[in-house]
Structure 1
Amino acid sequence: MIEFLEAIRDFTETGGYVLIYIGALIFVMWLLILERVFYINTTHVKYKKSLIAEWNARKERRSWNAEQIRSAYISRVSLKLNAGVPIIQALVALCPLLGLMGTVTGMIEVFDVMAMTGSGNARSMASGVSKATIPTMAGMVGALSGVFASTWLAKTSKTERMHLEDELQLEREIG
């Protein structure tokens, strides 16, 4: 465990303080993603079953009033499924921006070294270059993982809504 923490400290020193913000952002983003996955796999399943049972217990499913109740059920489910997705998408968009901020701060360090020692000292510029590239990489990795997860959440939400619409069919009179 101590070696793990030392490795994180060394990585943060190499990439600069911006990595702490990127790490915190990715941590919060994945907490929200995991909460949504947990909701879909547990709470949503129970909620969907209770709505279907409530709908099937109705005696009257043909009128305008029944159609409005059905629409309300579907809207509530859709709102609950999409509850955290816009926040997750905003955090995904912030990841590369924080990586860019790390790039800028690292390049400022490179220019400071160049101003103090001259333009030929590559060894002294190396730490600034790593502080410029590592946050960019971390921001992109966080954004890519978040894009895949948020796309899956949005697709699952749409699919679950369509399944509920199919389950809550309105009974129409033929003829």
Structure 2
Amino acid sequence: MMLFLIELWESVRDFMNTGGVVLNWLALVLFIMWVLMIERYMYVTSAFPKLVKDIVANWDAREDTTSWYAHRIREAWISQANEKLNARMQLIKTLVAVCPLMGLLGTVTGMVHVFEIMANTGTGNPRLMASGISMATIPTMAGMVAALSGVFFSSRLEAKVKVASHRLVDSMPHH
């Protein structure tokens, strides 16, 4: 097991080194994106239902649920709960959108590296240019994979947020 982990770490390290410094920045963005998505998922599945329960209990405990004032209180509670529910969702979407752009930045920096090699050694040495081409293609692939994983999970998360929001509204009837 330990040998497997060592080999895995060495493979990841070699991959990161081949992709250049942009890949390190992409890994940081990917890590932050996934931490935020996991945090939001945990909130939607565990903390938000407790908040809904408290809000519904407060609503049901009210004597007045039909007046204009009661409707404004209901709207305010729903709005506050939705604000908490949607917290950091825009940041997650932004980080998902940044991933392929960072991959393209890696492409540009890799191609600059290839052109520097060509300028210094001429066009006759494909081995020297191969490292620059790897530096150009690996971040692009990594950025696309990161974005695809983020798009899938964030869209599922967004659907869960919408369902939770609708459930809150439905559980607070106004007469």
Band the TM-score falls in, shorter-chain normalisation? over 0.9
What's the secondary structure of 2:51's corresponding residue? Answer: helix
- What does residue 64 of structure 1 align with? 68
**Rounded Cα–Cα distance in structure 2 between residues aligned with 1:88 and 1:98:** 15
What's the secondary structure of 2:124's corresponding residue? Answer: coil
Deviations, residues 127-169 of structure 1 (Å, cap 9, x unaligned) = 1101000001111111111112222222222221111111111
Structure 1 regions of 5+ residues with no counterpart? none
Pick one of 28, 32, 38 that aligns with 1:34.
38
**Rounded Cα–Cα distance in structure 1 between residues aligned with 2:17 and 2:172:** 56
Would the aligned equivalents of 2:44 and 2:164 in 1 still touch at CA under 8 Å?
Answer: no
Pick one of 14, 19, 22 that aligns with 2:23.
19
- What does residue 161 of structure 1 align with? 165
TM-score (normalised: structure 2): 0.93
Q: Answer with 128-137 or 139-148: which moved more.
A: 139-148
**Cα-Cα RMSD:** 1.1
**Rounded Cα–Cα distance in structure 2 between residues aligned with 1:61 and 1:13:** 63
Structure 2 regions of 5+ residues with no counterpart? none
**Rounded Cα–Cα distance in structure 1 between residues aligned with 2:158 and 2:69:** 30
TM-score (normalised: structure 1): 0.93
- Is 1:114 aligned with 2:118? yes
**Rounded Cα–Cα distance in structure 1 between residues aligned with 2:107 and 2:71:** 55
**Rounded Cα–Cα distance in structure 2 between residues aligned with 1:158 and 1:57:** 26
Paired-residue identity, %: 50
Would the aligned equivalents of 2:106 and 2:139 in 1 still touch at CA under 8 Å?
Answer: yes
Pick one of 90, 93, 98 that aligns with 1:94.
98
Pick one of 100, 125, 129 that aligns with 1:125.
129
- Counterpart of 2:155, as a letter, is T
Runs of 4+ aligned residues of structure 1 deviating over 4 Å after TM superposition are none
**Rounded Cα–Cα distance in structure 1 between residues aligned with 2:96 and 2:170:** 32
- Counterpart of 1:164, as a letter, is L
Deviations, residues 85-128 of structure 1 (Å, cap 9, x unaligned) = 01111111111111111101100111111112221322221111
Q: How many residues align?
A: 171
